[in-house]
Chains A and B, each alone.
Chain A
Amino acid sequence: MRYLPKSDAERAAMLREIGASSIDDLFAIIPEEYRLTRDLAIPRQMGESEIVDHFKAAAAKNANGYASFLGAGVYRHYRPVLIDAIVQRGEFLTSYTPYQAEITQGTLQAIFEFQTMICELTGMDIANASMYDGSTAAPEAAMMAMRVTGRDGVVVARTVHPEYREVMRTYAQHREASSGHATEEIGYGDDGRIDLAALDAAVDEQTACVLVQSPNFFGVIEDIPAIAAIAQKKGALLVVAIAEAVSLGIVRPPVEADVVIMEAQSFGVAPSFGGPFCGVIAAKEKYVRQMPGRLVGETKDSQGRRGFVLTLSTREQHIRREKATSNICTNQALVALMATVFMTVYGKEGIKDLALQNLAKADYAAKTLGAGGKLLFPESPRFNEFVLRSEETAEQLNARLLEHKIIGGLPLHKWYPELGNASLWCATELTTRLQMDSAAEIVALIPAAAAA
């Protein structure tokens, strides 16, 4: 086996030095009845070229050569080649969590830079070293709000990504069963934004937090100052989720929020069929001791030189065990590094320019594809996503587009049946005018079946 650095003679010599007569001696403690005496029924050992062929064949069975208008929490942005060049360095790729600070200053400083950039973009004071992803950051933020407020009610907008809300439900189910406080979901108005009157009525003295997404699942930017006022007058925290990180280049950051959760996939991370991605929790400084996840802090060594360490670990499971703020152990360090390189490449001006291109592309896409009154929530500010309503079902529309190698918007009826034949579309800087014009042409055709 080519990954194993020993000859059979070396193995035999080592066994002799241990005093074992055969390798089986070292497994003698396993009761005989449970020893596996056959080969595992898995594919036989493959050569490297066979492995590559196997995955090339798999790749060929996915979408190849299609134009795509899918977003909905996973965005296709250009990934500068520097990112892969850097994260494939073995010193980053094959290093462990930086507990031994003296020999992991590279990872630690990069995370410190990541935390700083996230603070700059979100308008928060502190940010952690990353979470699994945006969806799991949502329940972690809700639990954080409960620890801060001592309350257990959660109010969440229906315009939050439906799968984020499903994950929140999973985390909350046993707690809700014992407390009787169900998570309350607030609908949206004709503008595609959270219904502020319904929100106002729902928030009370039991509410730990209000959680909204902006830009929301429909791509519409929520009125954060108004939502913050409603939440905070009752002593609840405002948690704002950001699923499309590039929006922060041009959209006002949610500075009124107490906690911001983010999915940083847009920052140079491949869609990769849904992961790995890079969640983040950022917050106001006063909540630092209730933050879940890893934090890197600056300090000095015995000679006064600057260095970085994992800090405030007394919040964490390896110290606190069942009293920890979270059971979280790993973060997404390598993906956070990808995001850090992305943010460094674009920098202060580039992130604005990039976001502006996205705004222009999506505006053009919404106007061309949405021509003839198909665009929902047309008057609301939005970033790079929009909802179209068609006469035919979204599946019928998409079937027509697929014939032209175009993947249309995401059908929404599963989560929003009240919107009828609606689908969620996305355009980024990578979507070309030609793709948008071609798709618009097909969308505009009245299909025979729907017209009949």
Chain B
Amino acid sequence: MATETEKFVGTTRKVTAHLTQNEGLSFEKSAPGKKAYRLAALDVPAVDPKSLLGGAAREDAAELPELSEIEIIRHFTRLSTWNYAIDLGMYPLGSCTMKYNPRVNEFVSRLEGIAEAHPYQPEELSQGSLGIIRLLQKCLLEITGMEAITLQPAAGAHGEFTGILLARAYHTAKGNPRRNVIIPDSAHGTNPATAAICGYEVVNFKSNERGGIDVEALAQAVNEDTAALMLTNPSTIGVFENEIHRIADILHAKGALLYMDGANMNALCGKTRPGDFGVDVMHLNLHKTFSTPHGGGGPGSGPVACKGILEPFLPVPVVEEASDGQLHLNYERPQSVGRVRAFYGNFGMFVRALAYILANGPDGLRQTTEDAVLNANYIRKKLEDVYELPYSTPSMHEVVFSDRRQTRNGVKTGDIAKRLIDYGFHPYTVSFPLIVHGALMIEPTESESREELDLFIDAMRQIAREVEENPQIVLDAPHSTRVSRLDETTAARRPVLRWKKQGAGNRQ
């Protein structure tokens, strides 16, 4: 009988444990009278809030923390060291495209004339900002092969919403908004949620044995009630729909539209264009394909590109160029779906995305796509003997394995993911897409060197061996983090969503 010490425990080659600082909540460090600010001297007469505001004057003070500047820097710096980040290493989250976020993007977005631009500045004093919008639009139209575009949506899901509103307006203008939107069972959850918010019934569509669209079944499903098909291409298992044009033909024959979720555009840039293969409307995620930072969960930006038939319905305002080269915002668009956001969108993200496109040029974008696909296929080749590949169709920018072999030892995809943390990597995407049992969805992006990929592969192979020989170490992972697995059940059952002073309520 093997003892503990004889069981296999992998060697972590990428990381070495080091100390991190403890840090409480800012409120817990607060003491009355400490300050981290000093206002400029007031150059106008002081006022009495009571006399100006009357009953609208605030009586109580909000309990914000009172700290000095050094404490604040330490507070947030300490917190930051508890995060994993792209800047620390590979972040193989499938479908999230965690690529390098170039620092020049950050630098140019902070140039004074750009950062300080007020959205209501007169047009003649906004030509720089409008020019950035205009050039980014042109580049994105060329990259997608589409004919018109809005940059207004604030994120991918917001772009989906805008795109389906365009489809709805298009059908309504033809006399009938139609009733349903077809969505494959491999789609992101935002797709059905979006269709529902836009007032459509969702027709869930089963993927075929290759994880793609069953074209014959689609021909049966599409009819005059179909407003659109929302298709992710490459699909969420990283496979290109090679019958894409037949799919488009089936939809178009019934007057329905092909919506493409552009989440996976990093597999296509410079190699093929959605506009050329029959897509009518699509969104892009500037925070995926075009390198704007994820920032711990936003801000994103979700431009929507479309064919000319949908152009009249784009949100207002649209940027137009006059014959003298001056740029204008046109609000006079009677068929527009309206605004989806105040002002013009997440402009700061446009600046970053354009900086990325300029840094790449046509050759750089193509090489980027090729490297992203190369990396995914390299991982696939190096791991397919130890993790089950549920679909043997060729992979594009991501590869999806199943935990079927590991579950024989009681280990699931979520456990392998947690063990990966001990090896110094962020986990891959767990349990998505839903069509794969116990999915391990791995998207390396182009940003990883061969050395980093080999370390990842090594970690995944060692974990596979641990699962065979020492599954408990995987089931108990992570072992190296500040906190171990957290009690999510209690968090949801008795939510504590804010700090309160001791004795002031819900703290134990």
Cross-chain pairs A/B with CB under 8 angstroms, 21 sampled: A26-B377, A29-B240, A35-B271, A61-B128, A63-B113, A135-B339, A167-B341, A177-B177, A250-B57, A271-B118, A275-B346, A276-B346, A311-B488, A317-B189, A321-B193, A333-B295, A337-B296, A344-B26, A348-B64, A359-B53, A402-B122
Contact for A100 among B338, B358, B426, CB less than 8 A? B426
The reply to whether the CB of A377 lies closer than 8 angstroms to some CB of chain B is no
The reply to whether the CB of A41 lies closer than 8 angstroms to some CB of chain B is yes
A108 → chain B, closest Cβ, in Å? 9
Residues of B with C-beta under 8 A to A11 = 371, 374
Residues of A with C-beta under 8 A to B296 = 92, 95-98, 104, 107, 110-111, 333-334, 337
Known: A70-B121, A102-B483, A311-B492. A36 touches B273 (CB 8 A): yes
Contact for B127 among A62, A343, A346, CB less than 8 A? A62
- CB atoms of A94 and B343 under 8 A apart: no
- CB atoms of B341 and A132 under 8 A apart: yes
A69 → chain B, closest Cβ, in Å? 10
Known: A167-B338, A307-B486, A346-B36. 16 other contacts (CB 8 A): A11-B371, A13-B450, A15-B374, A40-B143, A42-B365, A74-B343, A82-B72, A93-B293, A93-B295, A103-B83, A167-B339, A170-B165, A322-B202, A327-B194, A332-B298, A349-B35
For B345, give the chain A residue with the smallest CB separation: A275
Residues of A with C-beta under 8 A to B486 = 101-102, 299-301, 307-309
Q: Within residues 311 to 327 of chain A, which ones have a CB less than 8 A from any CB in chain B?
A: 311-314, 316-324, 326-327
Residues of B with C-beta under 8 A to A45 = 358-364
Residues of B with C-beta under 8 A to A354 = 37, 39
The reply to whether the CB of B496 lies closer than 8 angstroms to some CB of chain A is yes
Contact for B343 among A63, A129, A273, CB less than 8 A? A273
B249 → chain A, closest Cβ, in Å? 13
The reply to whether the CB of B266 lies closer than 8 angstroms to some CB of chain A is no
A361–B40 Cα distance when bound, in Å, is 12
Contact for A298 among B79, B127, B478, B496, CB less than 8 A? B496
A40 → chain B, closest Cβ, in Å? 4
- CB atoms of B117 and A272 under 8 A apart: yes
Most buried by A among B143, B154, B417: B154
Q: Within residues 150 to 170 of chain B, which ones have a CB less than 8 A from any CB in chain A?
A: 154-158, 160-161, 165, 168
Known: A102-B481, A109-B79, A166-B339. A270 touches B298 (CB 8 A): no
B352 → chain A, closest Cβ, in Å? 10
For A359, give the chain B residue with the smallest CB separation: B47
- CB atoms of B117 and A288 under 8 A apart: no
Residues of A with C-beta under 8 A to B112 = 59, 64
- CB atoms of A40 and B299 under 8 A apart: no
- CB atoms of A276 and B154 under 8 A apart: yes
For A38, give the chain B residue with the smallest CB separation: B362
- CB atoms of A102 and B45 under 8 A apart: no
Cβ proximity bits B332-371 to A, threshold 8 Å, 1 near / 0 not: 0000011111111111110100010111111111111011
Residues of B with C-beta under 8 A to A21 = none
Contact for B374 among A14, A29, A95, A330, CB less than 8 A? A14
B320 → chain A, closest Cβ, in Å? 17
A288–B493 Cα distance when bound, in Å, is 12
A200–B73 Cα distance when bound, in Å, is 50
A101 → chain B, closest Cβ, in Å? 5
The reply to whether the CB of A451 lies closer than 8 angstroms to some CB of chain B is no
B175 → chain A, closest Cβ, in Å? 13
Comparing B95-103, B304-312, B464-472, the segment that makes contact with chain A is: B95-103
Residues of B with C-beta under 8 A to A93 = 85, 87, 101, 106, 293, 295
B68 → chain A, closest Cβ, in Å? 10
Q: Within residues 104 to 155 of chain A, which ones have a CB less than 8 A from any CB in chain B?
A: 104-107, 109-113, 115-117, 119-121, 125-127, 129-130, 132-136, 143
Contact for B483 among A76, A301, A407, A436, CB less than 8 A? A301
The reply to whether the CB of A274 lies closer than 8 angstroms to some CB of chain B is yes
The number of chain B residues touching the other chain, given as a range, is 35 or more
- CB atoms of A92 and B295 under 8 A apart: yes
- CB atoms of B298 and A335 under 8 A apart: yes
Comparing B4-12, B217-225, B252-260, B441-449, the segment that makes contact with chain A is: B441-449
Known: A42-B139, A174-B199, A381-B52. A90 touches B86 (CB 8 A): yes
Q: Within residues 76 to 94 of chain B, which ones have a CB less than 8 A from any CB in chain A?
A: 76-88, 91, 93
The reply to whether the CB of A191 lies closer than 8 angstroms to some CB of chain B is no
Q: Within residues 363 to 390 of chain B, which ones have a CB less than 8 A from any CB in chain A?
A: 363-368, 370-371, 373-374, 377-378, 381-382
The reply to whether the CB of A17 lies closer than 8 angstroms to some CB of chain B is yes
- CB atoms of B192 and A321 under 8 A apart: yes
Comparing A49-57, A228-236, A441-449, the segment that makes contact with chain B is: A49-57
Contact for A299 among B78, B100, B110, B490, CB less than 8 A? B490
A169–B343 Cα distance when bound, in Å, is 15
A328–B301 Cα distance when bound, in Å, is 13
Cβ proximity bits B121-153 to A, threshold 8 Å, 1 near / 0 not: 110011111011001001100110000000000
Residues of A with C-beta under 8 A to B52 = 359, 363, 381
Known: A23-B370, A109-B79. A133 touches B85 (CB 8 A): no
The reply to whether the CB of B58 lies closer than 8 angstroms to some CB of chain A is yes
Residues of A with C-beta under 8 A to B88 = 90-91
- CB atoms of A351 and B378 under 8 A apart: no
Residues of B with C-beta under 8 A to A68 = 118, 121
- CB atoms of B118 and A252 under 8 A apart: no
A66–B155 Cα distance when bound, in Å, is 32
The reply to whether the CB of B196 lies closer than 8 angstroms to some CB of chain A is yes
The reply to whether the CB of A197 lies closer than 8 angstroms to some CB of chain B is no
Q: Within residues 409 to 450 of chain B, which ones have a CB less than 8 A from any CB in chain A?
A: 417-418, 421, 426-427, 432, 446-450
A205 → chain B, closest Cβ, in Å? 24
- CB atoms of B361 and A42 under 8 A apart: yes
A63–B127 Cα distance when bound, in Å, is 9
Contact for B114 among A41, A59, A109, A252, CB less than 8 A? A59
A354–B37 Cα distance when bound, in Å, is 10
Residues of A with C-beta under 8 A to B40 = 429
The reply to whether the CB of B484 lies closer than 8 angstroms to some CB of chain A is yes
Residues of B with C-beta under 8 A to A389 = none
Known: A86-B73, A347-B35. A106 touches B81 (CB 8 A): yes
Contact for A52 among B108, B142, B343, CB less than 8 A? B108
- CB atoms of B114 and A55 under 8 A apart: yes
Cβ proximity bits A18-46 to B, threshold 8 Å, 1 near / 0 not: 11100100111111001110011111111
Residues of A with C-beta under 8 A to B351 = 55
The reply to whether the CB of A237 lies closer than 8 angstroms to some CB of chain B is no
- CB atoms of B447 and A5 under 8 A apart: yes
A348–B65 Cα distance when bound, in Å, is 6
The reply to whether the CB of B216 lies closer than 8 angstroms to some CB of chain A is no
The reply to whether the CB of A452 lies closer than 8 angstroms to some CB of chain B is no
Most buried by B among A56, A103, A381: A103
Contact for B358 among A54, A166, A320, A356, CB less than 8 A? A54
- CB atoms of A14 and B106 under 8 A apart: no
For B54, give the chain A residue with the smallest CB separation: A381
- CB atoms of B343 and A43 under 8 A apart: no
Contact for B421 among A36, A100, A127, CB less than 8 A? A100
Residues of B with C-beta under 8 A to A350 = 35-37, 39, 64
The reply to whether the CB of A158 lies closer than 8 angstroms to some CB of chain B is no
- CB atoms of A132 and B131 under 8 A apart: no
Residues of A with C-beta under 8 A to B173 = none
- CB atoms of B37 and A345 under 8 A apart: yes
Residues of A with C-beta under 8 A to B450 = 6, 10, 13-14
- CB atoms of A107 and B497 under 8 A apart: no
Residues of A with C-beta under 8 A to B101 = 93-94
Known: A100-B421, A161-B342, A300-B490. A48 touches B127 (CB 8 A): no
- CB atoms of A333 and B154 under 8 A apart: no
- CB atoms of B66 and A95 under 8 A apart: no
- CB atoms of A356 and B113 under 8 A apart: no
- CB atoms of B129 and A301 under 8 A apart: no
Residues of B with C-beta under 8 A to A17 = 378, 381-382
A68–B119 Cα distance when bound, in Å, is 12
- CB atoms of A100 and B377 under 8 A apart: no
